[in-house]
Structure 1
Amino acid sequence: MTSQRRSTYPGESAEPRVEHDANVWRIRSAEAVRQVLRERDATTQAGFASETVPSRRNDPILFMDGEKHRQQRSKTARFFAPKTVSTRYRELMATRADDLVAEALTEDTFRLDQFSLRYSVEIAAQVIGLTNSPIGPMATRLERFFEYPHGDAADARRGSSRFAKLRALILGNIPMGAFYLFDVRPAIKARRAEPAEDVISHLVAEGYSDSEILIECVTYGAAGMVTTREFISMCTWHLLTDDGLRRRYLDADQHERYLILSEVLRLEPIVGHLFRRAQRDFAFTADGQTHQVRSGELLDLFIRQANSDESTVGAEPLQLRPGRDLPRGIGEEVMSFGDGPHKCPGNALAIQETDVLVRKLMALDLEVVQEPTIGWDALISGYSLRGFVLRARRPAPVARAFVAGRTP
């Protein structure tokens, strides 16, 4: 059985590869998407509701651009460097994966989406510095925050009813308020007393206010917890429904396992759209034709379509085929981590974290009791997988090792 793409956003098309309408560019060509993202200082962040968020003295790194963004990326790069990830966090990942798998094996069935949330929250919390509150409740608070219908709140704020505006503001801030009160504030207090090697300590040293640190924690939480949770579930879904791929993954060395996971991410990018706003005129090329972008225009970059651009990824772009022959400079995940100055800094963390847990899961004799339901975030056309229920049919030797507290 050959795995095919499962995350197809309703109504999206692969054509036309480039279109321009009413000062909006819609770009589906991998070549053109890469050019736009790499065009130095030509565009600014326009996605993730960045253009509706009031500017602060210290904006979230996701919303920064230009020299300020480059400086901050340089200062925080040490937390996400591949060597740091491997030496500092691999043992933590292995230990937590062992503990969670052992816990799951005590139940008749378990939900992978809940299981992977706890795991991804705990790993990201160590990197960020959110280590002064219990992981389980923090994971629940983050889930409530990210699954709260923020778009509805924004719509209500634009409405005419003052009561609707007030209700939206109150309800929209309850999940964030709880996250700050129980998770972020204790971490800030602890780092001010005794700095550590983590993101919050860095932000405290940079003079960020509590509210600015909160927003950064939400930003890193979205990038490092929520997206990795979906990636773990999607990789597991593909591997459990493709026996050949699962055997290949289990027999592979780390390099090949990473190729397989990166190909899943290429096929199933968690963020479906990136948006940029042109700050000056510039040109990009697609299929031999040059297009001129004017200052002020919006660029909507279709990541799912770019990742399945046959001219870049080769034949059968909607099928999972690890080890594709890609053009020089294009990673195995193509545009799933973005590119250019805003390329996701946590790519090494996400791949290693996913591999550690998924490898342990694949060593078990698991069956899919209920396949996940795919939901969609309209803001970025990103998917969520919920209700993914698994069962261990019999305790394999590796499972008994987990229960006994030994990591194979």
Structure 2
Amino acid sequence: MTATPDTVGATGPNLMDPEFIADPVAGYNRLREQAPVVLGTRMDGGPAWYVTRYDDVRAALGDTRFVNNAKAVEGMVVENARDKIVEQFGVPPELMPYINESVLDVDGADHSRLRKLVSRAFTVRRVNAMRPRVEQITAELLDTLTDPTDLVRDFAYPLPITVISELVGVAEAERPQWRQWGAEITSFKPGSIGPALTAMVEHTHGLIERRRAEPADDLLTELIRVQDEEGDRLSEVETVTMVITLVMAGHETTAHLVSAGTLALLQHPDQLELLRNDPSLWPAAVNELLRWCGPVQVTRLRYAVQDVELGGVTIKAGDAVQAVLVSANHDPREFTDPDRLDFTRRPTGHGDGHVGFGHGVHYCLGAALARQEAEVALRMLFDRFPRLSMAAERPEWIPVPGIRRLAALPLHLG
């Protein structure tokens, strides 16, 4: 079968479809059972291929014929959908590089160069060395909780933003503002993203100047050293963009994993009892939670640099592709009884056993840190408050596309 956006048109599923936002697992499960690759509409209204099944998602994410930057498609002009999307949400043109040219968005040599500059801070060995500090921060936050508490506000957000801020070099007094900027940027509300990003960029430029004058033992100081001593390896815009990317990516999704993981444990007391009887299951539990309720539903758009056969269709050079992680992680072709939360489940031989952190060259840089923070946070939370319970009848989810976020999680401590 050969089909292209030129011949079929921009129809079919859309990230903005209410069923995908209200219940991503059920909605994308239905899409996956229609076909492994489905032509649909991306957020800016243009066409995109939705890749829905586990094997095809891994194939797409691991295939270097798909790139994140539309400019990397040689021999043709490909419209960058991400530029159009952020423009629709009020981001001025001069700020586009700060949001669309990060280590998450570039490919090839530029991606390798940027990733190498910070990857040493996120190795398993370095992350393991951070564990005592993560445990200390967690204990201090648990000490501050009062009954009832909103876990999202009082615990799930403060923990990862404290950890990543200490690692990067963001002062304690500035962290609430970063959280507010992050909330505004990820709200997808027209009129809020542009001003928040403007303030964030200006603040980061100032932060860099302060750190240049007063070096410290943090990642920002190392980035400044590279920029000053080896300017061809890192520009000023790239330095600012890296700081923004690390702080944003380093706390947003981890916060959602901790809050959604807490809800999952409260809704599955049998699995929580397994952990209480055998604490050695905690690493496996976090891995299963990443598969079952990982916050990232879809990847960034990718573009075919040449014609690619995938899932029975021909994806033409220049076509946009959207890999659907949530449907891949619930694919019965890969997982037995996939909609069941099971902490005794073991990886099937494909890396993590899920694609919650993506796959291929853009695999999540902070995966080891996110796993550790989630494990420490959830384990210490339920150890400290063994009678933790819901303080509201139904959890409130934020209705945004592509990511599953709790607005609040009111809990009784016991």
TM-score by length of 1: 0.78
Question: Which structure has greater strand proportion?
Answer: 1
**Structure 2 counterpart of 1:389:** 410
Match for 1:90: what amino acid? R
Secondary structure in 1 aligned to 2:33?
coil
C-alpha deviations, 1:324-367, integer Å up to 9, x for none? 354322313x1110000001011110010111111111111212
C-alpha deviations, 1:100-142, integer Å up to 9, x for none? 11110xx231110012111111011122222x34155335433
User: Aligned partners of 1:61, 1:16: CA distance in 2, in Å?
Assistant: 34
C-alpha deviations, 1:259-310, integer Å up to 9, x for none? 11111111112111122111122333x4xxx543221011121111111111
C-alpha deviations, 1:63-117, integer Å up to 9, x for none? 1101221232223211111110110x2122111111111110xx23111001211
1:277 to 300, 303, 306: 303
Offset at residue 387 of structure 1 (A): 2.2
Q: After TM superposition, what 4+ stretches of structure 1 lie above 6 angstroms from structure 2?
A: none
Residue 316 (1) aligns with residue 337 (2): yes
Q: 1:121 to 1:362 in 2, by over 3 A?
A: same
User: Aligned partners of 1:181, 1:20: CA distance in 2, in Å?
Assistant: 41
Residue 67 (1) aligns with residue 109 (2): yes
Aligned length: 357
Is the CA contact 2:48–2:319 (under 8 Å) kept in the aligned structure 1? yes
Is the CA contact 2:298–2:324 (under 8 Å) kept in the aligned structure 1? yes
2:272 to 222, 237, 246: 246
Is the CA contact 2:65–2:304 (under 8 Å) kept in the aligned structure 1? no
Secondary structure in 2 aligned to 1:329?
coil
Match for 1:259: what amino acid? A
**Structure 1 counterpart of 2:48:** 24
Is the CA contact 2:168–2:218 (under 8 Å) kept in the aligned structure 1? no
**Structure 1 counterpart of 2:166:** 126
Structure 2 unaligned regions, length at least 5: 1-20, 41-46, 71-79, 87-95
Secondary structure in 2 aligned to 1:377?
coil
Offset at residue 316 of structure 1 (A): 1.3
Is the CA contact 2:178–2:200 (under 8 Å) kept in the aligned structure 1? no
Secondary structure in 2 aligned to 1:273?
coil
1:258 to 268, 272, 283: 283
2:292 to 267, 280, 283: 267
Is the CA contact 2:36–2:52 (under 8 Å) kept in the aligned structure 1? yes
Map residues 69-108 of structure 1 onto 2, 5 A cutoff: 69-87=111-129, 89-104=130-145, 107-108=146-147
Structure 1 unaligned regions, length at least 5: 1-5, 154-170, 394-408
Q: 1:301 to 1:113 in 2, by over 3 A?
A: same
Aligned-residue sequence identity (percent) comes to 19
Is the CA contact 1:42–1:281 (under 8 Å) kept in the aligned structure 2? no
Match for 1:31: what amino acid? D
User: Aligned partners of 2:38, 2:269: CA distance in 1, in Å?
Assistant: 44
Is the CA contact 2:160–2:255 (under 8 Å) kept in the aligned structure 1? yes
